[in-house]
Amino acid sequence: MKRSTSASWTVPQPSWLIVALLTWLLATAWIRPLMAPDEGRYGGVALAMLRSGDWLVPRLDGLPFFHKPPLFYWIGAAAMAVTGPVEWAARLPSILGGGAAAAALFLFLRRWSTARLALLSTVVLVTTPFFFLGAQFANLDMLVAGCISGTVLLAAGAALAREREEPWRALLAGAYLFAAAGLLAKGLIGLVLPALVIAAWCAATRRLAALRLALWLPGWAVLLIVAGPWFVAMQMKYPEFFDYFVVTQHFRRFASTGFNNEHGFWFYLPVLAGLTLPWFAWVFVPRGADDSARHRQPDIDRLMWIWLAVIVVFFSLPRSKLVGYVLPALPPLAYLIAQRVLAGRSLEALLPRVRATTLAAAVVCIGCVIAVAMYASPPGTRLKLPAGQAVAPGDQVLMLDSYHYEIPFYWNLREPVLVSDDWKAAALDTRDNWRKEISDAARFDPAHAARTLVDRTQLADTLCVPRTTWLVGSNTAQLANPWLFRAQLVAVNDGLAAWRFAGSPTGDPHCLDAPLAPAPASAQSPGTHGDE
């Protein structure tokens, strides 16, 4: 073990630390169901990729889904190929992104700062509730945050090593590799944001010569070889891909005001302060008496301040804001908090307070996961079919007037579901919701969409067939669809219900015309009404 200047501060070897980081992030990744819509959506797309065997085109309900690139789905599908559809495997891409960010921060600071600051910064980062929950959440934000962190820290390390005439090419190649991963994780921000951070840092520290590393041809070869083929393949297969993925999902989305979650410019300041407690409270503790300039590292400090500012300002500019967008700002914030904790204080006297804050932060992390598990699980995660009933091969599943992302995952469906809605009106809807996602995806495969997107007026054609259909909809859906009284109610949970409809053995096109009266409550089996 390598020891810092105080015998009380033991710094583990990097390999052991990385194992500990991943163990901590994995420890609670299995205890709660997937949340809707994000976790159900991204976990479902990864599972669909595995089921279909098409590892090139991400698909939502069988339709090409180009909101984001495929890296998250590749990792999730590979994990589920081993484990099956379980929650922690669906969250593994985020866990790996969090592990990459924490490991990169530790290794960078261990080399260019002090061992104790490297260790404390990493501990602060992984026990910050915002970071911990981000790594436990199956969407793309933490994965791209890990890629951005790796790119920034490897590029900065390459610039510092080159100045000292130390080996730098492997570090810079790694930065380009992480940038390629960032492109495949969430698109252009995986390249643009690290470039902005490094360019601003080079300008602020008068390292203008280091900017020439941005033109390093071997690095660009790495980036293009790793990230280029998927984008080229999609453009060749789908001519509208560039306009939709680059123009709409990047530039129009950034500039538009028609998307959800609109907030003011100030939004991320309270988010960062509140979701990083109790560590953020150290910002208000006065510095120690011996916090002199000799303890500072101006180049590293400026890198972290610039990194934090670039991420927060960039995502504060558009009107649409989601909390997870600023996850890439957490590694530099963790460094700045750790620096404030250590500022001019005796290490021996400080250690009990650091341990207490770490324990409190870890308890908050676990408590947040438990709270989310108790209060934020969508109905579809608990809409279980009763024992002895299951969707058989050849059966069809139809969702009425809504798409519940998590149900294909939890019902372990191997085929896309049918979705009933007013699809002509949905195609004109500009709101950012499930209808728009599926309508947009339908543009890339109209033939498949014609088979799975069922207009409300065509329900009889879909259901009056010699085939069993499992229906999912609101538990009040019978008011708008009286023919549901012909179906067997098999499960009800939190406003959502499932029915089994036997269809018509003769293919009678009028099988929905004459609804039956509802069966008396005493005639229904108690076991068919709830979640088991």
Nearest to 141 by CA among 97, 80, 100, 194: 97
The pLDDT tens digits for 431-477 are 778 888 999 899 999 999 999 999 988 898 899 999 999 999 998 88
Please name the residues in contact with 320: beta carbons below 8 A apart, sequence gap of 6 or more: 253, 256, 257, 259, 260, 261, 262, 432
**CA-to-CA separations, 280 to 10, 227, 357, 434, in angstroms, rounded:** 24, 37, 10, 36
* Amino acid identity for residue 180 in this structure: A
Model confidence at 417: pLDDT above 90: yes
Q: Of the segments 4-8, 93-97, 256-260, 481-485, which one has the largest average pLDDT value?
A: 93-97
* Amino acid identity for residue 266 in this structure: W
pTM, entire model: 0.90
Calculate mean pLDDT across residues 43-63. 95
For the chain, what is the mean pLDDT? 88
* Amino acid identity for residue 211 in this structure: L
Q: Identify the three-state secondary structure at position 446.
A: helix
Nearest to 89 by CA among 128, 50, 132: 50
pLDDT attached to residue 257: 54
Nearest to 299 by CA among 389, 210, 236: 210
Write phi, then psi, for 329 (nearest 5 degrees).
Answer: -85, -10
Dihedral (CA of 110, 113, 115, 118) sign:
negative
Please name the residues in contact with 17: beta carbons below 8 A apart, sequence gap of 6 or more: 103, 106, 119, 122
**CA-to-CA separations, 526 to 208, 379, 497, 519, in angstroms, rounded:** 74, 19, 14, 13
Model confidence at 5: pLDDT above 50: no
* Amino acid identity for residue 164 in this structure: R
Q: Give the whole-angstrom CA distance, residue 498 versus residue 478.
A: 11
Q: pLDDT confidence of 289, banded at 50, 70, 90?
A: low
Q: What is the pairing mode between strands 10-11 and 59-60?
A: unpaired
Q: pLDDT confidence of 252, banded at 50, 70, 90?
A: low
Calculate mean pLDDT across residues 274-292. 80
Please name the residues in contact with 54: beta carbons below 8 A apart, sequence gap of 6 or more: none
Model confidence at 292: pLDDT above 60: no
Are 210 and 197 spatial neighbours (Cβ–Cβ below 8 Å)?
Answer: no
Model confidence at 233: pLDDT above 50: yes
**CA-to-CA separations, 521 to 2, 307, 528, in angstroms, rounded:** 70, 62, 11
Are 26 and 96 spatial neighbours (Cβ–Cβ below 8 Å)?
Answer: no
Is the peptide bond prior to 278 cis by the omega test (within 30 degrees of 0)?
yes
Model confidence at 262: pLDDT above 80: no
